[in-house]
Structures are given as C-alpha cells and as structure tokens.
C-alpha cells in the first residue's frame, strides 16, 4: 500500500540546512495498522505530512497504492488526498459552529455530493462510531472522546484506503484512549490501512507493529 525508498527531506532556515529525514525506507502493507514513535525532532511530523501529501520531499520515492507521489502539484496532491487518505488529529479539528453530522458530511460537500446523500452517508458513519443520537449536537456539547469519534467518522466518510492519525489519543484520558483505539482496530479489520503517530507505548502496543524514528532514520 505504502512504499518509501531512501526518502530525504530538509529545511533551510537562514544559512542553515536542517536534514530531517535522512534516507528513510519502509513498507506498510495493505490492511496493516502501524504505530510511528520517536522523540521530539525525530521526524515523525515531517514523515506524516509527506505521507499525507501536505508536504513534498527532496529525493527518494513515495509509492501510494502503486502510484508515485513524487513532484505532485497542489491540485494533483489534493486529488490523491481525496481519493486515498483520511486524517485524524489530536485536536479533533472539528468546525465549532457545525453539528456532528455537518462535520462528518464536510468531505462529501467538497466532492459535490448532494445534500440528501451526504447527510444519509454521514449518519451511517455516526452510527458506526456509536454517535447517531448526537448527530445534531455541536462540538462544545460533546466530550473529548465523542469529538474524536466524530473526527474518525469524518475521516471515514469518503471511504479512504489509508487513515493517517496524528496523536489521536493525545488529548484523551486513558480509558477514552483505549475506547478510541478499540474503535480504530475495528475499522482496521475492514481492510483500511492505518498509520498512527503516538508517544504512548500502550497505544503502540495495540498496533500490528511499531516503526521507531530516531534523527530522521528508522532504527
């Protein structure tokens, strides 16, 4: 599903060039759930941004579902994001003035799906995460765990091949974290590949395997 070969990425600040990814190679099989761990500055966020087509890379190869992601323009990157990827963030990234069902339906709005169809599909995914009774509630009326479930439903609604999750349990207590991970594992069983950046060892232990990053390389 995802194949990275000798991936390099650096940033220039002033006269200094900082190499963040230093020839990273890895393979994630279709249907795997993989944790990425590493200390601050190890390159986790940079790697996730590249995987999510939110940032480019300097050299190497990134193959997603058999297609090269090298040198994409913004329009092409947006097309591949819409086709293949779903995102889950630590801070939920819900729109505060929109209800749960409106938040979940948002990706379908951008795909120009009719209002009736996108609301029906959004409700289907709210049911999947156990929140159909909260469809008309605003984010500020929900707990952290409920907000993350809405965010997961939104990530799923466009039927992505890969879910990229950045510290999805980082803002949650341990009990709610386990519930969210149980939900992600259930979704993973449907064949959706998942890559989860986390600093929590007990969350990583619930994944199929862990990729450990140190100074821009896998160790």
pTM: 0.91
Strands 217-218 and 209-214: antiparallel
Q: Give me the pLDDT at residue 13, please.
A: 86
Where in the sequence is the domain holding 162, given as residue range(s)?
A: 32-57+73-218
pLDDT band at 144 (very low <50, low <70, confident <90, very high): very high
Is 120 a domain residue?
Answer: yes
Q: Give me the pLDDT at residue 41, please.
A: 84
Rounded to the nearest integer, the mean pLDDT of the chain is 93
Is 7 a domain residue?
Answer: no
Mean pLDDT along residues 72-77: 92
CATH number of residue 183's parent domain: 3.40.50.300
State yes or no: pLDDT of 164 exceeds 90: yes
Backbone dihedral angles phi then psi of residue 4, each to the nearest 5 degrees = -115, 130
pLDDT band at 14 (very low <50, low <70, confident <90, very high): confident
Q: Give me the pLDDT at residue 213, please.
A: 95
Is 127 a domain residue?
Answer: yes
Is 162 a domain residue?
Answer: yes
Is 65 a domain residue?
Answer: no
Is 79 a domain residue?
Answer: yes
Give the total number of structural domains in the chain.
1
Is 17 a domain residue?
Answer: no
Is 45 a domain residue?
Answer: yes
């Amino acid at each position: 599903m995802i194949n990275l070969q000798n991936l390099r990425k650096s940033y220039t600040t002033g006269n200094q060039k900082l190499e963040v990814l230093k020839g990273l190679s890895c393979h994630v099989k279709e249907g795997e759930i993989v944790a990425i761990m590493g200390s601050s500055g190890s390159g986790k966020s940079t790697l996730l941004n590249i995987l999510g087509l939110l940032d480019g890379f300097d050299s190497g190869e990134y193959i997603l579902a058999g297609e090269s992601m090298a040198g994409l323009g913004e329009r092409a990157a947006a097309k591949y994001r819409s086709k293949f990827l779903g995102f889950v963030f630590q801070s939920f990234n819900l729109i505060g003035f929109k209800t749960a069902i409106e938040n979940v339906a948002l990706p379908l709005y951008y795909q120009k799906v009719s209002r009736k169809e996108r609301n029906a599909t959004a409700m289907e995914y709210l049911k999947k995460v156990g929140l159909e009774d909260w469809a008309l509630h605003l984010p500020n009326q929900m707990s952290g765990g409920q907000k993350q479930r809405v965010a997961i439903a939104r990530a799923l609604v466009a039927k992505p091949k890969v879910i990229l999750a950045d510290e999805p349990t980082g803002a949650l207590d341990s009990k709610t974290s386990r519930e969210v991970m149980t939900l992600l594992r259930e979704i993973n069983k449907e064949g959706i590949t998942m890559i989860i950046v986390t600093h929590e060892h007990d969350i990583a232990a619930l994944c199929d395997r862990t990729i450990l990053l140190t100074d821009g390389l896998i160790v």
